[in-house]
A and B are shown apart, each in its own frame.
Chain A
C-alpha cells in the first residue's frame, strides 16, 4: 500500500474510533433510569484512598459503606440492593475526573456521589454534569464550588464560610475583662480553609480584638516551624488555624509546645474532628481543649445519628467520640440519595436534580437538608466542638441545651 493509501486508511480508522467514542459518551454515558428486577443499583464513587486526603477519604468510605449496609437491610433502594463502585483518586483533581468518566462510561453506574474535599468535588461535579448525572456530595462546601454555577451539584453539609461563626461570635460575646486581646490567624491556601478566616476575623475584630498575626501558607509546606515560631513570638491569646488535616495541626501544636507557647484558645478548621486519628497523633493530653468547627459529632441527637454511631461501633469499634464527622457527611449523602430516589420513584438523574432543587426539606444524620439554587444546604447549623479529656463534645452555640461549658483557657500542653 502506498503512503497516500496508508494515510487514508489511518484517517478512516481514526474517524471510526472517534465516532465510536462520541457514541459511547452520549449513549452509554446516559444515566440508566430503569433497572431490571433483581439487579442492584450501582453508585459510583471516587475516593481519596491515598495521598493528602487519605485519612478523610477512608472515613468517607466507612460512611458510604455503613449507609449501604443500612439501606440494604431494609431492602435497598426501590427494592434494588445498593452496590458501591469505589475507585481511588489518590487525592488528585485530575484523577477524580478520569474516575467519574470511567464510572459512567465504562462501569455504567446508575448514580454518582461525591469525593472528599472541595478541591475534588468541583471537577467531579463538572465531569458528571456532562453526562447529566447529579452529584450529591458531603465535603465540597467551599464558596468556589458553588460559584461555579453547576445545577447538578448538591452539598449536604454546612457551607464552609459559616463554619467559624459560632466560635467568633463566642469570642466577641465574652465580657471585656475575659475577652482575649489578640488573635493570630494562619491558614493554608486551600479552598476549604481560606474562606473561613476572613468571616471569623471580621466578627472578632469588630469586638475590638487585635489581629496580632495573619499569614497564609502554601498547601505543600512541610516545615511549619518558622510559621509556628512567628505565631508564638507574638504571643496571641487565641490561634485560628486554617488546616485540612491532622499532620498540619499536629505540626503547629508540636512547634508551639517546643516554643513554650500555649494559647488560651486554639481552633483548627480541620484535623481535631478526626476522632482517634487526631488524638492518637497529638496525645490525649495535648488534645485537651483543642476546638474544631463542624456540623455533626458522635453524640448528636439528630434523627438516625445514634443508630449510625451504633452501627459504626459494631463494625469498626471505638466510641461515639471517636467517630469522624466525615463518616456522617458521607452517610448523609446516602440518606439524601435515598429520599430523592424514593420521591422520584426511579433512578432518573434529571428527575433527581429537579427534585433536589424543588425546595423540599430532607433529613440526614447531620440535621435537615434544604438546597438553595446553588446547591448549598441552607439549613445546616454550624457547631464548635472541643476535646475535653477523652471526650469530643459540642460546646457552641452556647445557647444549645446540649452544649457543654467551653474549656477556657485551654490547659497548657501536656497538663
Chain B
C-alpha cells in the first residue's frame, strides 16, 4: 500500500459519500419532521435513476439537465405518497406502522419498474461517466466530481432553506416539537407534506449520480435502503448534519480499510464503529435524544 492509494481512497470516500449523504438526507428529514421511517427511500432513488435514464435514452436530455424535470417530478410523487398514505398513519404506532406502509409502497414501485424496464440492469451514460482528469498524479472521475458538486449545491440549498427562511424555521420548529409548533401557529400538516416531498425530491439527484456510477435494476434498492438506514442511525435520526457526516464516514472508512487492510473487512469495520458509537451515544453522532424518543 502506498500513500497515493490511501489519498485516492480518502478522496473516493468523500466524493462518493457526499452522494450517499444526498440520498440519506431525504430519509432523515422525513423522519425528523414526521417520525416516519421511509423504507421506500431506496426504491425512490432507483425511480429517480430510471427517470434520468428515460430522459437520457428517449429524449436525449443530459443527465444533469434532466434534474430540472426529475426533481420536481419526484417532489410531486412525494406529495402524492404523503397525502394518500402517510396522513392515514396516526397514534402511538405511527412510526412502526410507517415501516410496513412504506415497505408496501416500495414493493408496488419495484413491481411497476420491473414491468416497465424489465429486470435487466441498465446504467446511465454520458461523456463524463467514464472519463477522468488528472490532479497531482491521481485520476479523478468527472462523474464523481460533478456528483460531489451537485450534492454540495443541493445540501447547501437545503441548509439555506432550513436556516435562512421562514419556512425553514417552521420545519425546525416542527423538528423540535410538533405540538409546540402547532401552538404557535405553524401548519404542521403542511410542513410535513412539503418535507416529505423535499425528502423524496432529493432522491432524484442521488439516483441520477448513483445510476451513472453503478449498473442497477429495481432490486438494487434493497442494498441502498440498508445502507441509507445505517447512515442515518449512525449520524443520528433526524439530523441533517449527522447524515452528511455519517455518509462520508461510512464510505471513506470502507474505502480506506479496503486499501490498507482488505476489502473483506470494510463492512465489518463500519458496523463495528457503528456499534461502538451507539454504545457511547445512542442518539448517534449528531442526533438528539429527544428526537429519538419522539
Contact = CB atoms under 8 A, between A and B. Distances in A.
Interface of A: 49-52, 54-55, 57-58, 91, 189, 215-218, 220-223, 225-227, 229-230, 233, 245-247, 250-251, 254, 257-260, 276-277, 280-283, 286, 413-414
Given A55-B217, A189-B264, A49 B125 contact: no
Nearest to A225: B12
Contact of B121 (A189, A217, A247): A247
A286 B263 CA distance: 26
Nearest to A254: B130
Given A247-B214, A258-B130, A223 B120 contact: no
Contacts of A217: 258, 263-264, 266
B139 interface: yes
Q: Is the interface of B mostly helix, strand, loop or mixed?
A: helix
B187 interface: no
14 contacts: A55-B120, A217-B258, A218-B264, A226-B9, A226-B256, A229-B8, A229-B12, A230-B5, A233-B2, A250-B121, A251-B215, A259-B132, A281-B215, A413-B130
Nearest to B122: A281
B73 interface: no
Contact of A258 (B139, B227, B255): B139
Interface residues of B, number: 44
Which 4 residue pairs across A and B have the least CB separation, nearest first? A217-B263, A247-B215, A258-B141, A226-B255
A225 to B, nearest CB: 5
B23 interface: no
Contacts of A55: 119-121, 217
Given A221-B263, A247-B215, A229 B121 contact: no
A51 B4 CA distance: 36
Interface stretch (B165-173, B218-226, B283-291): B218-226
Contacts of A283: 125
B262 interface: yes
Contacts of B114: 50
A138 to B, nearest CB: 19
Contacts of B255: 223, 225-226
A339 B71 CA distance: 56
A415 to B, nearest CB: 13
Interface of B: 2, 4-5, 8-9, 12, 16, 110, 114, 118-123, 125, 129-132, 139, 141, 213-220, 222-223, 227, 251, 254-256, 258-259, 262-264, 266-267
Contacts of B218: 50
A260 B121 contact: no
A247 B211 CA distance: 11
Contacts of A58: 118-120
A246 B121 contact: yes
A254 B139 CA distance: 13
Contact of A50 (B219, B263, B264): B219
A297 to B, nearest CB: 19
A225 B255 CA distance: 8
A257 B263 CA distance: 21
Given A91-B219, A226-B12, A259-B139, 4 more contacts: A226-B256, A247-B214, A247-B216, A414-B130
A399 to B, nearest CB: 35
A220 B216 CA distance: 14
Contacts of A226: 5, 8-9, 12, 254-256, 258-259, 263
B163 to A, nearest CB: 31
Contacts of B119: 49-50, 54-55, 57-58
A162 B132 CA distance: 38
A139 B280 CA distance: 46
A226 B217 CA distance: 23
Nearest to B9: A226
Contacts of A281: 121-123, 215
B228 to A, nearest CB: 11
B174 to A, nearest CB: 33
Contacts of A286: 130
A414 B131 CA distance: 11
A113 to B, nearest CB: 21
A237 B9 CA distance: 23
Contacts of A50: 110, 114, 119, 218-219
A172 B15 CA distance: 41
